[in-house]
Structure 1
Amino acid sequence: MRRDLREGVTIYVTENIKPNFAEIARQYNVDYRTVKKAYEEVKAGLKGRPSGRPKRPSLLDPFKQTIDSKLELNCSAASIFKFIQKKGFTGSYTLVKDYCRQTRRERVKKATIRIEHSPGLSAQVDWKEEMALLSSEGELFKFNIFLYVLPYSKLKYMTLTFDRSQDTLFSCLHDAFLHTGGIPTEIWFDNMKTVVDHTKSQFGHAVFNERFHEFCKDAGFTPIACRPFRP
């Protein structure tokens, strides 16, 4: 096994970071299966080490506090990488990106609180975008799936659409109300552009589109925008 490749994947094993095999393969100009094999061999070898053996320091260790503070400010992995590069970091962008992703996941897991729903209180709307289906004749069809869920009863309304316009959204909501037999007090939406005015919104504070807000008032429900990066 190439020494540089072994050293590269060792960092991911010691830091318990899930690697992107394809990206590492491009970095070292090898097949992704070679990277995966190297990672698994290093992982198996480290598991067999005596417990008293000291852990190898990571290139990220001197910068982790800085990275964590930047993540608190919702900075992107790319901007953090450029910032710590100026401070002397000599590692790869992939290492920084994977550490940022892992840290965000752990924070979301700790911060996520289960929401209990009562009958008639709320509904959730999601749009599965740009789905593709290839027919037996080789013809490609692109479509979207509108999903409306009542969390308390788990009752769902689902329909297929060929666009995600605001008029289509209103039509889907109207059909969902008829299908489920009423309108809930509040409806949770993803930050879709037909719902949220992105030019006026800030992180954690969504501003609803004016026409959409009027529709909500006429229908008699309160819209709630899901916070970005939260399940």
Structure 2
Amino acid sequence: MIRNGEFYMIHEMKKRGMSISQIANELGRDRKTIRKWLQQSEPAYYQRHVKRPSKLDPFKDYIRRRMEEGCLNANVIFDEIKAQGYTGRKTILRSFMQPLRPSVLSKATVRFETSPGYQAQVDWGRFRVDWNGEPKRLYAFVMVLGYSRMMYVEFTEDEKLETLMGCHLRAFEYFGGRPEVVLYDNMKTVVADFDERGHAVWNERFARFAAHHGFLLQSCRPYRARTKGKVENGIGYVRKNFWPRVRTFTGLDDLNRQVRDWLDTVANVRVHGTTHETPRERLIREGLKPFNPMPFEEVDRHARKVSPDACVSYENNRYSVPFEWVGQIVHIQDLKNGRIRIYHGEQLVAEHPKATGKHQRIVNEKHFEGLQTTSRHKIPQPMPRLVPQAIPEVLERDLSVYEQFTDEAVNV
């Protein structure tokens, strides 16, 4: 059954003029199935079935590893896992091994060169930093254009879907357009699962995002991640060439400024070892297509009321906005790349670098220009204040003391 994420891919291919046969060959589907889904204007939502555990589940990683080592004989593997405690039938093992065979039969990987403007490859790199005295993991989004080897890198706080979509748009802006196809490994924010035939089950929201901006999704075959070698080489290049240059940084915003400078002055202007040209020169021949200027969907925004000091609070820090917005409700958008944007409706009213600690106040002095600093009303002069004097304590004495004083006075 075609999942909803693939529904958007099929309709996008049809818009590009591909025939039913071409779409079926590209996706590995039956022509009748493609024709049926093209006749529908909306995807059919399905009831998710609970997948029962299989007796083979604990042994699947071992089976894949043995197949990658070159052992494709089901009888041999059956004997090996049986000795490890497998109690199921051999037919279950054969059914599991069958779709994996094509990916391990080829012993060598042929270099895949793409035509101009056709493909980009995307993956995440992970880096450790000292963040205010504590170890912290940062994530590097890397996109590489297959033809020109032009690279885009952006460091982020996480790998969430909203972050991934934002990185795509900023990469397209940096390149000046988008490719026809983007290739991914089986990252969970893009590939939700693989079906029984080995086809990717796309994350539905991300598939709609891709269709909205006009590019197709492509996944590496399971356990065949070498097909995205260009971006993996790119991540290695970032790790070996850029990362050793970073001695200190003041936050993600500063780190992204440093990596942008490295892209512009080193990575994308060097002579590439495979193409023997600079990525910047070959980018001219990529012929990238424009992406949709209409926003696909706004990322999460956090409503805040502007306080009398013309600031809003977010994650235990305060950020200024123009003083005219005092008392208004605004919305904060955290780009998760070291920048904070503040909107009123669709109007961008302020943008700041994101604070790296807590209880900080990030202020743009221009937000207070024109604000009257002296009041038109006279400030009342201080007046003397009466402080009542405390009543002195009275010493209490026994009456016999006074009688003694009386006797002394009579005797005198």
SS class of match (1:110)? coil
Larger radius of gyration: 2
CA–CA separation in structure 2 for the residues paired with 1:71 and 1:188? 35
Alignment match of 1:218 (pick from 207, 212, 223): 212
* Match status 1:170 vs 2:165: yes
1:1-231 aligned at under 5 Å gives the runs 67-70=71-74, 81-84=80-83, 107=104, 110-129=107-126, 131-134=127-130, 138-198=133-193, 201-202=195-196, 204-230=198-224, 231=226
Pairwise CA RMSD: 3.3
Structure with greater proportional helix content = 1
Query: By how many angstroms is 1:138 displaced?
Result: 4.0
Match of 1:50 in 2: none
Query: By how many angstroms is 1:142 displaced?
Result: 1.2
Identity of aligned residues (%): 39
Query: By how many angstroms is 1:216 displaced?
Result: 0.7
Match of 1:90 in 2: none
Give, as a single letter, the amino acid of the residue that structure 2 aligns with 1:132: R
CA–CA separation in structure 1 for the residues paired with 2:221 and 2:79? 22
CA–CA separation in structure 2 for the residues paired with 1:84 and 1:70? 14
Q: For this pair of structures, how many residues does the alignment match?
A: 142
Q: Deviations over 1:63-115 (max 9, x none)?
A: x9x9532499xx8xxx874324579xxxxxxxxxxxxxxxx9x9476252321
Contact 2:118 2:146 in 1 (8 A): no
Judging changes above 3 Å, is the alpha-carbon distance between structure 1 residues 113 and 202 closer, same or farther for their aligned structure 2 residues?
farther
Give, as a single letter, the amino acid of the residue that structure 2 aligns with 1:153: S
CA–CA separation in structure 1 for the residues paired with 2:152 and 2:196? 31
Unaligned runs of 5+ in 2: 1-66, 87-100, 227-412
CA–CA separation in structure 1 for the residues paired with 2:130 and 2:106? 37
CA–CA separation in structure 2 for the residues paired with 1:71 and 1:171? 49
Unaligned runs of 5+ in 1: 1-63, 88-103
CA–CA separation in structure 1 for the residues paired with 2:139 and 2:116? 28
Give, as a single letter, the amino acid of the residue that structure 1 aligns with 2:159: R
Match of 2:373 in 1: none
CA–CA separation in structure 2 for the residues paired with 1:111 and 1:158? 29
Contact 1:189 1:224 in 2 (8 A): yes
CA–CA separation in structure 2 for the residues paired with 1:146 and 1:211? 19
